[in-house]
Amino acid sequence: MSPTRMQLLRLKKRLAMAERGHKLLKDKRDELMKRFLDLIKKEQALRGRVEAGLGRALPAFLQARAAMSGEALEEAFMAPKVSCGVDVSTTTIMNVRVPEFTWRGEKASDIYPYGFHGTSASLDDAVAGLAELLPMMAELAEVEKSIELLADEIEKTRRRVNALEYVLIPNLRSTARYITMKLDEMERGNLTRLMKVKDIVRAKQA
């Protein structure tokens, strides 16, 4: 890069821009981080509840299965009465698109897809327990997904912040310093030359 005033000006402009970008990205990173931590806390709480709930419901199913014949069980589950699912929309957290699930299952009291004849009572418990858990599981899935997507964005932002902070900005600074020094040096060289010329002219006049 040629050490000219023009270049110096250009560099200073770039430096100002980089610093502004750095500040903005840092703010973005901090805010992302805050959201991320909130989500993590939520995830941990939900995860605990879901795992505890499944820890009760799943063995209950096993028990029921042990108490019933395979065909009876097959038959009992043949036609699920409740359809469960979610509406999916997307929201954005700091420009990251994350899914948002809205639970859409009937909260019917009659969730059992079978008659009570010929099925064991533990099956009822298991089905009821699982039905209670499903909305929570949907929420947990949404939260974990959001965490995953946010994590990617945080990583990217962090990289950019670091690149600006430790590479681009120092580079620009040192180049600017180099040019300033070079210009000063030229200035001094010019001055000495002028003085010298003046001396010579004066010597000739005398």
Partner 1 sequence: MPMYRFAAVGEEETVFGFRALGVDVFIVGREDDAASVLQEARKGGYAGIFVTEQVAKAVPDVIEGFGGAPLPAVLIIPGVGGSLGLASQRMKKIVEKAVGADILFQERG
- The residue with tokens 């805050």 is 34
- Which of 25, 126, 161, 179 forms a contact with partner 1 (CB under 8 A)? 126
Q: Exposed (0-12), middle (13-18) or buried (19+): which is 92, by Cβ within 10 Å?
A: exposed
Positive or negative CA dihedral for 55, 56, 57, 58?
positive
Binding residues for partner 1 restricted to 162-201, rule: CB under 8 A: none
Binding residues for partner 1 restricted to 10-69, rule: CB under 8 A: 33, 36-37, 40, 43-44, 47, 50-51, 54-55, 57-59, 61-62, 65
Round to whole Å and give the CA distance between 101 and 124. Answer: 27
Residues 6 or more apart in contact with residue 29 via CB below 8 angstroms? 154, 157, 158, 161
* 11 versus 98: smaller Cβ distance to partner 1: 98
Is 5 among the residues that bind partner 1 (CB under 8 A)? no
3-state secondary structure of 92: strand
Is 99 among the residues that bind partner 1 (CB under 8 A)? yes
3-state secondary structure of 106: coil
Extended beta strands in 119-198, E state: none
* 11 versus 76: smaller Cβ distance to partner 1: 76
* 42 versus 173: smaller Cβ distance to partner 1: 42
* 8 versus 96: smaller Cβ distance to partner 1: 96
CA atoms within 13 A on the CB side of 137: 14
The pair of structure tokens assigned to 38 is 């909130």
- Which of 30, 155, 184, 185 forms a contact with partner 1 (CB under 8 A)? 155
* 51 versus 199: smaller Cβ distance to partner 1: 51
Binding positions for partner 1, rule: CB under 8 A: 33, 36-37, 40, 43-44, 47, 50-51, 54-55, 57-59, 61-62, 65, 73, 76-77, 80-90, 97-99, 101, 104-105, 111-113, 126-127, 130-131, 134, 137-138, 140-142, 144-145, 147-152, 154-155, 158
